[in-house]
Structure 1
Amino acid sequence: MGPIGIFDSGYGGLTVFKEIVKVLPQYDYIYLGDNARVPYGTRSYETVYKYTLQCVNKLFDMGCHLVILACNTASAKALRTIQQIDLPKYGNTRKVLGVIRPTTEIIGQYTKTRSVGIMATSGTVNSESYVIEINKFFPDIRVYQEACPMWVPLVENNEIASDGARYFVQQSIHKLLRKVPDIDTIILACTHYPLLLPLINDFVSKDIQVLAQGKIVANSLTDYLTRHHEIEVRCKKNGTRRFFTTENPENFNGKAALFYGSNIVAEHVDLASC
């Protein structure tokens, strides 16, 4: 038995982890942030796959049987390859899940106009993962994307209340809404973006729903563990939580509370052997 692993390229996955812990507090967890190599959003498929696989292997080495990629870029660029090429080496003893499918398979419950907007990093937008996945489940839904390259740096540098943040958020929202007038649902397809929700809500009408992924992923994980007893019984239940980063832990601790909602004490992890 082992903990559930939560992986992100940096801090954003903590917004998802926070919601998972609220719903499933009984499990042991390890969070791993690859802060030394962030951002992933502008990197190639090959690089994102390489980095993500290293982190997944490290979590496996730490005893995790189930790993959640709480990173949209990793889910878009690396998850499928890891599931198809790497996981078969472990038989049925390891599973890796992402954050895209849980969101796309329920989006039809939210939109009435059948027009959905995606706000994401350039890497996630270029992958068209959301377009492809939504069309699998809901062929009638039209999907419009907008890359927001400045949003992650604003959040990472704790400038979410600055005039610059207001400018870039307004600019991106207006670009998206100009593409089609009847968007009624916007997915924040990056785990950093929920911290910008107060600003985002200033520039969208009350008729538009803005969806963060944390609660959606937490509910999907609950359902997954219920349906997959063979994985659930491998997950330890002592309620422990450990945090690791590839960066200086002191730097990580200073920013992590903004995303997680409480103070964190992280440890450094070396990926050289993975």
Structure 2
Amino acid sequence: MLSGGPIGVFDSGIGGLTVFRSIVEQLPRYDYLYLGDNGRAPYGNRSFKTIHQYTWECVQWMFKQGCPLVILACNTASAKALRTIQQQDMPGLHTDKRVLGVIRPTAEVIGNYTQTKQIGVLGTKGTVQSGSYLLEIEHFFPELKVYQQACPLWVPLIENGEYNKPGADYYVKLYLDQLMQQSPGIDTILLACTHYPLLQDKIKAYLPAGINVVAQGDIVATSLVDYLQRHPEMEQRLSKNGHRFFYTTIDDTPDFDHHATLFFGTQVKSEFVDVREEC
């Protein structure tokens, strides 16, 4: 039994491990519980209602495991479920717990990367349609012009281990061309999906020289460090034994472990859980 509770890190699949890896690098002494909802992934093309339902089920499961703080390391869940969870689901029910997302901390700093004041956002269909990045970036950097491009086939390619094969090149170039056709002045591209860093080398190869490609891992990790410094009442409730636990909603855990190890950078050993039975 741990004293205190672990930080929960949630994603619809394995993409959130790119954020989790950065968090562990900056905050290694904390305990963590990672949950990938691979059994119902991808989330990108699902409705607001469905994404909220799935995300809330997973968050509640993590609360039951003792997590006082949960990070939605998933842009689609952050875009389509976080506000409802924070404003409607948790008040009066989980007043001592917190759920944070990845969109706001990214929007707070993305304007610092551009010289032309033109930014491209690559994301899932759900993230793009939500308009969350447009709203959040305008709040912090109203002078920026933001262009969005949905990349609906990138997550399936990555989840199925095809991201580093020649067949992925066509779809990488297709969506990048569609984004850059919106404005040749784009000098910064945000990877607004935690899966996309696995495609980063291919993305850079099909972009003009000098364009910044920004992943979220370090941004979210730095924001979490700042959050814990500003909220010592939460920091003191977190256990600090350096333990990491991995769970997935797909029963083929060896397959999850294989792909998750590539994302996380070290060996992953997961357990299967059915969050629907436990909620």
Q: Secondary structure at the match of 1:201?
A: helix
**1:118-171 deviation line (CA, Å, top 9, x unaligned):** 000000000011011000111111110000011111111111222221111011
Query: Are residues 1:188 and 2:191 paired?
Result: yes
Aligned to 1:97: 100
Query: Are residues 1:261 and 2:265 paired?
Result: yes
Equivalent positions of 1:109-120 (< 5 A) are 109-120=112-123
Segment drifting more, 90-99 vs 28-37: 90-99
Q: What is the CA–CA distance in structure 2 between the aligned matches of 1:18 and 1:202, rounded to whole Å? A: 24
Equivalent positions of 1:141-220 (< 5 A) are 141-220=144-223
Indicate the RMSD between aligned Cα atoms, in angstroms.
Answer: 0.9
Query: Are residues 1:240 and 2:243 paired?
Result: yes
**1:82-137 deviation line (CA, Å, top 9, x unaligned):** 00012212464100000001110111111111100000000000001101100011
Taking only the aligned residue pairs, the percentage that are identical comes to 57
Using structure 2 for the length normalisation, give the TM-score.
Answer: 0.96
Q: What is the CA–CA distance in structure 2 between the aligned matches of 1:177 and 1:151, rounded to whole Å? A: 17
Equivalent positions of 1:4-43 (< 5 A) are 4-43=7-46
Following TM superposition, the consecutive aligned residue runs of length 4 or more in structure 1 with deviations greater than 6 angstroms are none
Letter of the 2:257 counterpart: N
Aligned to 1:273: 278
Counting matched residue pairs gives 274
Q: What is the CA–CA distance in structure 2 between the aligned matches of 1:139 and 1:145, rounded to whole Å? A: 16
Q: What is the CA–CA distance in structure 2 between the aligned matches of 1:161 and 1:137, rounded to whole Å? A: 35
Aligned to 1:53: 56
Change in 2 beyond 3 A, CA 1:91/1:164: closer
Segment drifting more, 191-200 vs 157-166: 157-166
Q: What is the CA–CA distance in structure 1 between the aligned matches of 2:264 and 2:255, rounded to whole Å? A: 15
Letter of the 2:266 counterpart: S
Cα distance, 1:230 vs structure 2: 1.0
Letter of the 2:204 counterpart: N
Change in 2 beyond 3 A, CA 1:91/1:267: closer
Letter of the 2:7 counterpart: I
Letter of the 2:92 counterpart: K
Letter of the 1:262 counterpart: T
For structure 2, the 5+ residue unaligned runs are none
Letter of the 1:273 counterpart: E
Q: Secondary structure at the match of 2:278?
A: coil
Cα distance, 1:255 vs structure 2: 1.4
Cα distance, 1:193 vs structure 2: 0.3
Query: Are residues 1:122 and 2:125 paired?
Result: yes
Q: Secondary structure at the match of 2:181?
A: helix
Letter of the 1:120 counterpart: G
